[in-house]
Amino acid sequence: MAEMYGAFENLRKHKAVLHNAVALNSGIQLAAWSNKRDTITQYCDHHTLSLYIADGYESYHKTSAGWKNGGGPDRFCLMPKESESSWDIRDDLSFIHLYCTDDHLRSVGEQIWDKSPYSFTLDENLFGNDASITALYRHFILGCDWQQPANQLTLSTASTLLLTHLVQRYSNVQWTLPTVTGGLSPFVLRNVLGFIEENLAQPLTLADLAAQATLSEFHFARMFRQSMQMAPHQYVMQRRMEKAKTLVRYTRQPLTEIALACGFSSASHFSNRFRVATGLTPSQLRASGA
């Protein structure tokens, strides 16, 4: 893991079971956990967004008035940098943590709003309920294989959108999102599309694409959608599938090599995505001669 996150390291010393983890663009990491019958005190030098996936009804937080619960599926807990919280997990809990450095959160805010406040903090929120947060992690984060390079763009996009929402709704500034009108210039769009074509084998992130346009991830994603009528991660997956179909039909390359050339490190994951896109597995399409 690129960064050392205190909350992550602390959980590993307790009874929590780590099921999955992935480092995304600088300053963001996702981790999927489960826990039961454990007591933990967290104090960290980074921000943690905890998303309850299943159970959690018997998760208690220590307050001045005693232990209070309020967890359950789709509840979230936002623990800002330098906040301290104590937990008593009395029964099953499955959750995802999003870890973010303060530098990265500040960078997200400054890039989107072009403002640099003297004080930039997140507000603690325990057992919260937010339909926008639920939709983002249920649709984008839970639904894909974190270890597949081809999914890095989807995961980084969702994480950036989550951080943007936190700044907008749960920070001391609560800035209104700027209006983005118009798409990318033809010159910039050509450069971005060319970069994508040349790097379909690589684990592209939203930051990679935004850098080609010299824009924040937020502005790039919205301007790209204006230009192409689809989100960047949708376009990249479409191009990967088109390249894969061409290689399957017109070359004798082994399917494992085609998978790698199109950004998939697993032949089975590649085959599943290909079948969803075309109705046939790669081997079926090759055998059909279509």
Give the tens place of pLDDT for each residue, 229-258: 999 999 999 999 999 999 999 999 999 999
| pTM (predicted TM-score) | 0.85
Report the candidate in 144, 228, 159 with the shortest Cα–Cα distance to residue 188: 228
Residues 6+ positions from 273 with CB-CB distance below 8 Å:
150, 237, 241, 264
What distance in Å separates the CA atoms of residue 31 and residue 159, rounded to the nearest whole number?
12
What distance in Å separates the CA atoms of residue 19 and residue 11, rounded to the nearest whole number?
12
Report the candidate in 37, 38, 35, 44 with the shortest Cα–Cα distance to residue 8: 44
What distance in Å separates the CA atoms of residue 70 and residue 88, rounded to the nearest whole number?
12
Report the candidate in 188, 189, 146 with the shortest Cα–Cα distance to residue 23: 146
Q: State what percent of residues in the chain have pLDDT above 70.
A: 98
**pLDDT over 50 at 11, yes or no:** yes
Looking at the DSSP bridge assignments, the partners of residue 23 are 29
DSSP string, 172-185: SS-PPPPP--S---
